[in-house]
Amino acid sequence: MQDMPSLRGRRVLLGITGGVAAYKTPELVRRLRAAQVAVRVVLSHNARQFVAAGALAAVGAEIVEDHAPGMVHIDLARWADAVLIAPATAHVLSRLAAGAADDLLTTLCLATEAPLCVAPAMNRIMWLNPATRANCTRLEERGVRFIGPGEGAQACGESGPGRMSEPDEILEALERLWAEAGALRATRAVVTAGATYEALDPARGFTNRSSGKMGYAVAAALAAHGAAVTLISGPTALPAPLGVRRIPVTSACEMRDAVWACRGAMDLFVAAAAVADYRPQTVLAHKLKKDADTLTVTLVRNPDILAEVAQLNPRPFTVGFAAETGDVEALARAKRARKGIDLIVANPIDEAGVGFAGDDNRVILIDEDRAVAWTTAPKTEIARALVREIIKRLPRTV
Protein backbone atom coordinates (compact mmCIF):
# COMPACT_ATOMS: atom_id res chain seq x y z
CA MET A 1 0.00 0.00 0.00
CA GLN A 2 1.22 3.53 -0.78
CA ASP A 3 2.95 5.17 2.18
CA MET A 4 0.75 7.82 3.79
CA PRO A 5 2.92 9.49 6.43
CA SER A 6 0.32 12.05 7.53
CA LEU A 7 -2.00 9.20 8.58
CA ARG A 8 0.48 7.65 11.02
CA GLY A 9 -0.54 8.05 14.62
CA ARG A 10 -3.94 9.54 13.75
CA ARG A 11 -7.15 8.49 15.48
CA VAL A 12 -10.28 7.88 13.43
CA LEU A 13 -13.73 7.34 14.87
CA LEU A 14 -15.54 5.28 12.23
CA GLY A 15 -19.33 5.41 12.30
CA ILE A 16 -21.02 2.67 10.31
CA THR A 17 -24.67 3.02 9.39
CA GLY A 18 -27.18 0.61 7.90
CA GLY A 19 -26.41 0.32 4.22
CA VAL A 20 -25.31 -2.58 2.05
CA ALA A 21 -21.97 -0.80 1.48
CA ALA A 22 -21.10 -1.57 5.10
CA TYR A 23 -19.58 -4.78 3.75
CA LYS A 24 -16.58 -2.64 2.66
CA THR A 25 -15.79 -1.45 6.17
CA PRO A 26 -13.63 -4.37 7.39
CA GLU A 27 -11.31 -3.72 4.44
CA LEU A 28 -11.38 0.00 5.22
CA VAL A 29 -10.41 -0.71 8.82
CA ARG A 30 -7.65 -3.09 7.71
CA ARG A 31 -6.14 -0.42 5.48
CA LEU A 32 -6.39 2.25 8.16
CA ARG A 33 -4.64 -0.02 10.63
CA ALA A 34 -1.95 -0.82 8.04
CA ALA A 35 -1.37 2.94 7.81
CA GLN A 36 -0.89 2.97 11.60
CA VAL A 37 -4.21 4.69 12.31
CA ALA A 38 -6.02 3.91 15.57
CA VAL A 39 -9.65 3.05 14.80
CA ARG A 40 -12.66 3.01 17.08
CA VAL A 41 -15.98 1.94 15.60
CA VAL A 42 -19.54 2.92 16.47
CA LEU A 43 -22.14 0.73 14.76
CA SER A 44 -25.70 1.93 14.32
CA HIS A 45 -28.43 -0.56 15.15
CA ASN A 46 -29.14 -1.22 11.46
CA ALA A 47 -25.47 -1.47 10.54
CA ARG A 48 -25.24 -4.74 12.46
CA GLN A 49 -27.51 -6.30 9.83
CA PHE A 50 -24.77 -5.80 7.23
CA VAL A 51 -21.45 -6.19 9.05
CA ALA A 52 -20.48 -8.12 12.17
CA ALA A 53 -18.65 -6.43 15.03
CA GLY A 54 -16.39 -9.47 15.21
CA ALA A 55 -15.24 -8.99 11.61
CA LEU A 56 -14.23 -5.41 12.40
CA ALA A 57 -12.48 -6.35 15.62
CA ALA A 58 -10.58 -9.09 13.80
CA VAL A 59 -8.86 -6.48 11.57
CA GLY A 60 -7.90 -4.22 14.44
CA ALA A 61 -10.90 -1.98 15.25
CA GLU A 62 -11.98 -1.23 18.81
CA ILE A 63 -15.76 -1.58 18.96
CA VAL A 64 -17.58 0.94 21.16
CA GLU A 65 -20.92 -0.20 22.49
CA ASP A 66 -23.87 2.17 22.92
CA HIS A 67 -24.27 1.11 26.53
CA ALA A 68 -20.65 1.82 27.52
CA PRO A 69 -20.48 3.50 30.95
CA GLY A 70 -19.68 7.18 31.54
CA MET A 71 -19.79 10.13 29.16
CA VAL A 72 -18.77 7.95 26.24
CA HIS A 73 -19.92 10.42 23.56
CA ILE A 74 -17.72 13.16 25.05
CA ASP A 75 -14.76 10.80 25.43
CA LEU A 76 -15.03 9.70 21.79
CA ALA A 77 -15.57 13.25 20.54
CA ARG A 78 -12.37 14.41 22.23
CA TRP A 79 -10.37 11.29 21.29
CA ALA A 80 -10.92 11.48 17.53
CA ASP A 81 -8.69 13.36 15.11
CA ALA A 82 -11.47 12.81 12.57
CA VAL A 83 -14.95 11.34 12.58
CA LEU A 84 -15.72 9.33 9.45
CA ILE A 85 -19.18 7.96 8.69
CA ALA A 86 -18.98 5.22 6.05
CA PRO A 87 -21.38 4.32 4.68
CA ALA A 88 -23.46 7.43 5.30
CA THR A 89 -27.03 6.63 4.38
CA ALA A 90 -29.64 9.15 3.28
CA HIS A 91 -31.23 8.72 6.69
CA VAL A 92 -28.12 9.61 8.69
CA LEU A 93 -27.39 12.60 6.41
CA SER A 94 -30.90 13.85 7.16
CA ARG A 95 -30.38 13.39 10.92
CA LEU A 96 -27.01 15.15 10.85
CA ALA A 97 -28.46 18.05 8.87
CA ALA A 98 -31.26 18.39 11.43
CA GLY A 99 -28.80 18.30 14.35
CA ALA A 100 -30.31 15.10 15.76
CA ALA A 101 -28.65 13.49 18.78
CA ASP A 102 -30.75 10.37 19.27
CA ASP A 103 -28.00 7.75 19.35
CA LEU A 104 -24.31 7.52 20.20
CA LEU A 105 -23.08 8.32 16.70
CA THR A 106 -25.11 11.46 16.07
CA THR A 107 -24.54 12.66 19.62
CA LEU A 108 -20.76 12.46 19.37
CA CYS A 109 -20.93 14.21 15.98
CA LEU A 110 -22.55 17.18 17.72
CA ALA A 111 -20.00 17.06 20.54
CA THR A 112 -16.80 16.86 18.50
CA GLU A 113 -14.57 19.63 17.17
CA ALA A 114 -12.72 17.16 14.92
CA PRO A 115 -13.34 17.24 11.16
CA LEU A 116 -16.46 15.29 10.19
CA CYS A 117 -16.26 13.30 6.94
CA VAL A 118 -19.06 11.32 5.32
CA ALA A 119 -18.89 8.70 2.56
CA PRO A 120 -22.46 8.55 1.20
CA ALA A 121 -23.97 5.32 -0.13
CA MET A 122 -27.49 5.01 -1.49
CA ASN A 123 -29.59 4.43 -4.57
CA ARG A 124 -28.99 6.93 -7.36
CA ILE A 125 -32.51 8.40 -7.18
CA MET A 126 -32.21 8.82 -3.41
CA TRP A 127 -28.86 10.62 -3.89
CA LEU A 128 -30.36 12.98 -6.49
CA ASN A 129 -33.58 13.60 -4.54
CA PRO A 130 -33.99 17.32 -3.72
CA ALA A 131 -34.31 16.52 -0.01
CA THR A 132 -30.94 14.73 0.00
CA ARG A 133 -29.34 17.48 -2.05
CA ALA A 134 -30.61 20.10 0.41
CA ASN A 135 -29.27 18.09 3.37
CA CYS A 136 -25.87 17.74 1.70
CA THR A 137 -25.71 21.46 0.98
CA ARG A 138 -26.54 22.28 4.58
CA LEU A 139 -23.86 19.92 5.87
CA GLU A 140 -21.23 21.26 3.46
CA GLU A 141 -22.03 24.80 4.59
CA ARG A 142 -21.22 23.65 8.13
CA GLY A 143 -17.85 22.28 7.04
CA VAL A 144 -18.72 18.59 6.71
CA ARG A 145 -16.47 16.96 4.10
CA PHE A 146 -17.95 14.59 1.54
CA ILE A 147 -15.95 11.67 0.18
CA GLY A 148 -17.71 10.56 -2.99
CA PRO A 149 -20.03 9.06 -3.82
CA GLY A 150 -18.88 7.36 -6.99
CA GLU A 151 -20.88 6.13 -9.94
CA GLY A 152 -21.49 2.59 -11.15
CA ALA A 153 -23.51 -0.55 -10.55
CA GLN A 154 -25.55 -0.53 -7.35
CA ALA A 155 -26.87 -3.30 -5.11
CA CYS A 156 -30.42 -2.52 -6.24
CA GLY A 157 -29.49 -3.45 -9.81
CA GLU A 158 -29.44 0.11 -11.11
CA SER A 159 -26.43 2.18 -12.13
CA GLY A 160 -25.53 5.79 -11.39
CA PRO A 161 -24.23 8.08 -8.64
CA GLY A 162 -24.47 6.84 -5.08
CA ARG A 163 -21.82 4.12 -4.72
CA MET A 164 -19.72 4.42 -1.58
CA SER A 165 -16.10 5.32 -2.33
CA GLU A 166 -13.61 2.48 -2.16
CA PRO A 167 -11.33 2.15 0.89
CA ASP A 168 -8.30 3.45 -1.01
CA GLU A 169 -10.23 6.55 -2.08
CA ILE A 170 -11.34 7.18 1.50
CA LEU A 171 -7.77 6.87 2.78
CA GLU A 172 -6.54 9.30 0.12
CA ALA A 173 -9.24 11.78 1.17
CA LEU A 174 -8.15 11.51 4.82
CA GLU A 175 -4.54 11.96 3.74
CA ARG A 176 -5.48 15.17 1.92
CA LEU A 177 -7.48 16.33 4.94
CA TRP A 178 -4.46 16.20 7.22
CA ALA A 179 -1.91 17.22 4.61
CA GLU A 180 -3.89 20.41 3.97
CA ALA A 181 -5.02 21.05 7.53
CA GLY A 182 -2.02 23.12 8.59
CA ALA A 183 -1.25 24.90 5.33
CA LEU A 184 -2.65 28.20 6.65
CA ARG A 185 -1.95 27.72 10.35
CA ALA A 186 -0.04 31.01 10.62
CA THR A 187 -2.48 32.98 8.44
CA ARG A 188 -4.97 35.54 9.72
CA ALA A 189 -7.79 35.77 7.20
CA VAL A 190 -10.69 38.21 6.95
CA VAL A 191 -13.62 37.30 4.71
CA THR A 192 -16.63 39.45 3.86
CA ALA A 193 -19.85 37.75 2.81
CA GLY A 194 -23.47 38.40 1.93
CA ALA A 195 -25.31 41.51 0.89
CA THR A 196 -25.34 44.85 2.65
CA TYR A 197 -28.58 46.68 3.43
CA GLU A 198 -28.80 50.46 3.04
CA ALA A 199 -31.77 51.90 4.92
CA LEU A 200 -34.06 54.49 3.36
CA ASP A 201 -36.55 54.67 6.24
CA PRO A 202 -37.48 52.38 9.16
CA ALA A 203 -39.30 49.99 6.79
CA ARG A 204 -37.41 50.11 3.51
CA GLY A 205 -33.94 50.02 2.09
CA PHE A 206 -31.70 48.98 -0.81
CA THR A 207 -30.02 45.58 -0.98
CA ASN A 208 -29.25 42.79 -3.47
CA ARG A 209 -29.83 39.05 -3.92
CA SER A 210 -26.54 37.78 -2.48
CA SER A 211 -27.16 34.86 -0.09
CA GLY A 212 -23.69 34.82 1.46
CA LYS A 213 -23.20 31.14 0.54
CA MET A 214 -20.00 31.73 -1.42
CA GLY A 215 -18.33 33.81 1.29
CA TYR A 216 -19.36 31.39 4.03
CA ALA A 217 -17.98 28.47 2.02
CA VAL A 218 -14.67 30.31 1.57
CA ALA A 219 -14.49 31.04 5.31
CA ALA A 220 -15.12 27.36 6.10
CA ALA A 221 -12.48 26.21 3.61
CA LEU A 222 -9.88 28.61 5.03
CA ALA A 223 -10.61 27.42 8.57
CA ALA A 224 -10.26 23.80 7.44
CA HIS A 225 -6.70 24.64 6.36
CA GLY A 226 -5.88 26.05 9.76
CA ALA A 227 -6.35 29.80 9.17
CA ALA A 228 -7.66 32.05 11.93
CA VAL A 229 -10.75 33.36 10.12
CA THR A 230 -12.86 36.42 10.86
CA LEU A 231 -16.07 36.44 8.81
CA ILE A 232 -17.71 39.85 8.46
CA SER A 233 -21.21 39.11 7.28
CA GLY A 234 -24.15 41.07 6.02
CA PRO A 235 -27.67 39.88 6.97
CA THR A 236 -28.13 36.16 6.26
CA ALA A 237 -29.75 33.08 7.78
CA LEU A 238 -26.60 30.96 7.35
CA PRO A 239 -24.95 29.46 10.45
CA ALA A 240 -21.37 30.49 11.20
CA PRO A 241 -18.89 27.86 9.95
CA LEU A 242 -17.18 25.78 12.61
CA GLY A 243 -14.13 27.50 14.07
CA VAL A 244 -14.86 30.85 12.40
CA ARG A 245 -15.35 34.14 14.27
CA ARG A 246 -18.32 35.97 12.78
CA ILE A 247 -19.00 39.69 13.03
CA PRO A 248 -22.55 40.58 11.87
CA VAL A 249 -23.04 43.92 10.12
CA THR A 250 -25.82 45.52 8.13
CA SER A 251 -24.63 48.41 5.97
CA ALA A 252 -21.57 48.95 3.78
CA CYS A 253 -20.22 51.54 6.22
CA GLU A 254 -20.57 49.09 9.10
CA MET A 255 -18.78 46.44 7.05
CA ARG A 256 -16.00 48.88 6.23
CA ASP A 257 -15.56 49.76 9.91
CA ALA A 258 -15.41 46.07 10.88
CA VAL A 259 -12.82 45.34 8.19
CA TRP A 260 -10.78 48.39 9.15
CA ALA A 261 -10.69 47.25 12.76
CA CYS A 262 -8.92 44.08 11.58
CA ARG A 263 -6.32 45.83 9.43
CA GLY A 264 -3.44 45.28 11.84
CA ALA A 265 -4.08 41.53 12.01
CA MET A 266 -4.82 40.55 8.44
CA ASP A 267 -2.58 38.45 6.17
CA LEU A 268 -5.33 37.56 3.71
CA PHE A 269 -8.46 39.46 2.71
CA VAL A 270 -11.22 37.82 0.66
CA ALA A 271 -13.97 40.24 -0.37
CA ALA A 272 -16.84 37.92 -1.27
CA ALA A 273 -19.59 40.27 -0.05
CA ALA A 274 -21.86 42.01 -2.52
CA VAL A 275 -21.41 45.48 -1.06
CA ALA A 276 -23.87 48.17 -2.14
CA ASP A 277 -22.14 50.80 -4.26
CA TYR A 278 -24.50 53.55 -3.09
CA ARG A 279 -26.67 54.41 -0.07
CA PRO A 280 -29.44 57.00 0.46
CA GLN A 281 -28.02 60.40 1.34
CA THR A 282 -30.70 60.82 4.02
CA VAL A 283 -32.25 58.08 6.17
CA LEU A 284 -35.75 59.15 7.07
CA ALA A 285 -36.84 58.91 10.70
CA HIS A 286 -40.41 57.94 9.75
CA LYS A 287 -41.85 55.61 7.16
CA LEU A 288 -42.12 57.27 3.77
CA LYS A 289 -45.71 57.60 2.59
CA LYS A 290 -46.75 56.99 -1.01
CA ASP A 291 -48.25 60.41 -1.55
CA ALA A 292 -46.81 61.06 -5.02
CA ASP A 293 -46.71 59.13 -8.29
CA THR A 294 -42.92 59.37 -8.48
CA LEU A 295 -40.13 59.45 -5.96
CA THR A 296 -36.64 60.81 -6.21
CA VAL A 297 -33.97 59.48 -3.84
CA THR A 298 -30.50 60.98 -3.78
CA LEU A 299 -27.81 58.32 -3.43
CA VAL A 300 -24.22 58.82 -2.31
CA ARG A 301 -21.30 56.53 -2.94
CA ASN A 302 -20.26 53.95 -0.35
CA PRO A 303 -16.61 53.36 0.56
CA ASP A 304 -14.72 50.92 -1.67
CA ILE A 305 -13.62 48.43 0.99
CA LEU A 306 -11.56 46.20 -1.28
CA ALA A 307 -9.65 49.08 -2.86
CA GLU A 308 -8.89 50.55 0.57
CA VAL A 309 -7.53 47.25 1.86
CA ALA A 310 -5.40 46.87 -1.28
CA GLN A 311 -3.72 50.19 -0.44
CA LEU A 312 -2.67 49.20 3.07
CA ASN A 313 1.03 49.05 3.89
CA PRO A 314 1.89 46.30 4.57
CA ARG A 315 -0.81 44.97 2.32
CA PRO A 316 -2.53 41.62 2.85
CA PHE A 317 -2.97 39.23 -0.05
CA THR A 318 -6.23 40.45 -1.54
CA VAL A 319 -8.92 38.46 -3.36
CA GLY A 320 -12.01 40.05 -4.84
CA PHE A 321 -15.20 38.81 -6.50
CA ALA A 322 -16.84 40.29 -9.57
CA ALA A 323 -20.51 39.41 -10.09
CA GLU A 324 -21.10 40.65 -13.62
CA THR A 325 -23.32 40.49 -16.69
CA GLY A 326 -22.18 40.72 -20.28
CA ASP A 327 -18.43 40.32 -20.93
CA VAL A 328 -17.71 38.95 -17.47
CA GLU A 329 -14.01 38.28 -17.98
CA ALA A 330 -13.18 41.69 -19.43
CA LEU A 331 -15.10 43.52 -16.72
CA ALA A 332 -13.42 41.48 -13.99
CA ARG A 333 -9.94 42.03 -15.46
CA ALA A 334 -10.54 45.77 -15.42
CA LYS A 335 -11.80 45.63 -11.84
CA ARG A 336 -8.71 43.69 -10.69
CA ALA A 337 -6.37 46.22 -12.30
CA ARG A 338 -8.34 49.24 -11.08
CA LYS A 339 -8.39 48.10 -7.46
CA GLY A 340 -4.83 46.76 -7.49
CA ILE A 341 -5.65 43.33 -6.03
CA ASP A 342 -3.88 40.00 -6.42
CA LEU A 343 -6.68 37.74 -7.56
CA ILE A 344 -10.27 38.14 -8.69
CA VAL A 345 -13.05 35.59 -9.07
CA ALA A 346 -15.51 36.51 -11.81
CA ASN A 347 -18.95 34.97 -12.02
CA PRO A 348 -21.94 35.65 -14.27
CA ILE A 349 -25.19 36.55 -12.54
CA ASP A 350 -27.35 36.48 -15.68
CA GLU A 351 -27.13 32.70 -16.19
CA ALA A 352 -29.80 30.41 -14.81
CA GLY A 353 -28.77 28.20 -11.92
CA VAL A 354 -25.54 29.96 -10.94
CA GLY A 355 -24.51 33.06 -9.02
CA PHE A 356 -26.70 34.84 -6.49
CA ALA A 357 -28.98 32.78 -4.23
CA GLY A 358 -28.17 29.38 -5.78
CA ASP A 359 -25.98 26.58 -4.47
CA ASP A 360 -23.83 26.39 -7.63
CA ASN A 361 -21.48 28.81 -9.29
CA ARG A 362 -19.47 29.14 -12.48
CA VAL A 363 -16.37 31.26 -12.14
CA ILE A 364 -13.31 32.54 -13.95
CA LEU A 365 -10.18 32.87 -11.83
CA ILE A 366 -8.08 35.83 -12.94
CA ASP A 367 -4.63 36.94 -11.81
CA GLU A 368 -2.06 39.22 -13.41
CA ASP A 369 -0.98 36.63 -15.97
CA ARG A 370 -3.97 34.57 -16.99
CA ALA A 371 -7.64 33.69 -16.67
CA VAL A 372 -8.89 30.15 -16.04
CA ALA A 373 -12.56 29.23 -16.42
CA TRP A 374 -13.87 26.61 -14.02
CA THR A 375 -16.84 24.39 -14.79
CA THR A 376 -20.09 24.88 -12.89
CA ALA A 377 -19.85 23.29 -9.44
CA PRO A 378 -21.29 23.64 -5.94
CA LYS A 379 -20.07 26.75 -4.16
CA THR A 380 -18.48 24.60 -1.47
CA GLU A 381 -16.31 22.85 -4.08
CA ILE A 382 -15.38 26.15 -5.70
CA ALA A 383 -14.45 27.55 -2.29
CA ARG A 384 -12.11 24.65 -1.58
CA ALA A 385 -10.51 24.95 -5.01
CA LEU A 386 -10.11 28.72 -4.56
CA VAL A 387 -8.38 28.25 -1.21
CA ARG A 388 -5.95 25.80 -2.80
CA GLU A 389 -5.13 28.44 -5.40
CA ILE A 390 -4.68 31.07 -2.70
CA ILE A 391 -2.26 28.81 -0.84
CA LYS A 392 -0.14 28.47 -3.98
CA ARG A 393 0.10 32.25 -4.33
CA LEU A 394 0.49 33.41 -0.73
CA PRO A 395 3.91 34.88 0.08
CA ARG A 396 6.07 32.37 1.93
CA THR A 397 6.49 34.77 4.82
CA VAL A 398 2.75 34.57 5.63
d(CA 387, CA 385) in angstroms, rounded, equals 5
DSSP-assigned beta bridge partners for residue 387: none
DSSP string covering 338-379, please?
HHT-SEEEEEESSSTTSSTTSSEE--EEE-SS-EEEPPPEEH
| 156 is an active site residue | yes
- pLDDT number for residue 69: 65
- pLDDT number for residue 4: 60
Tell me the whole-structure pTM to 2 decimals: 0.72
CATH number of 5-181: 3.40.50.1950
Whether 5-181 and 188-393 share one fold: the answer is: yes
Q: Which CATH number fits domain 188-393: 3.50.50.60, 2.40.37.10, 3.40.50.10300, 3.40.50.2300?
A: 3.40.50.10300
Inter-helix orientation angle 379-393/130-141, to 10° = 30
- pLDDT number for residue 134: 92
d(CA 155, CA 157) in angstroms, rounded, equals 5
d(CA 263, CA 188) in angstroms, rounded, equals 10
Task: Report the DSSP pairing between strands 228-233 and 150-153.
Answer: unpaired
- pLDDT number for residue 396: 57
The tens-digit pLDDT sequence of the chain (398 residues) is 455 656 888 999 999 999 999 999 999 999 999 999 999 999 999 999 999 999 999 999 999 987 666 688 899 999 999 999 999 999 999 999 999 999 999 999 999 988 899 999 999 999 999 999 999 988 988 888 899 998 888 777 888 899 999 999 999 989 888 877 778 988 999 999 999 999 999 999 999 999 999 999 999 999 988 899 999 999 998 988 878 999 999 999 999 999 999 998 999 999 999 999 999 999 999 999 988 899 999 999 999 999 999 999 999 999 999 999 999 999 999 999 999 999 999 998 888 777 777 788 899 999 998 999 998 888 988 998 999 999 989 885 44
Q: Would you say 196 and 236 are in contact if contact means Cβ atoms under 8 Å apart? A: no
DSSP state of 326: S
From start to end of 56-158, where are the E strands?
A: 62-64, 82-88, 116-120, 145-146, 150-153
Q: What is the dihedral of CA 123, 126, 128, 129, to 10 degrees?
A: 170
- pLDDT number for residue 72: 86
Q: Which residues contact 187 (CB under 8 A, 6 or more apart)?
A: 222, 226, 227, 228, 267, 268, 394, 398
Q: How far is CA 149 from the centre of its chain?
A: 18
- pLDDT number for residue 398: 42
- pLDDT number for residue 367: 93
Per annotation, catalytic residue among 109, 117, 136, 156: 156
- pLDDT number for residue 113: 87
Q: Could you tell me the residue ranges of all domains in the chain?
A: 5-181, 188-393
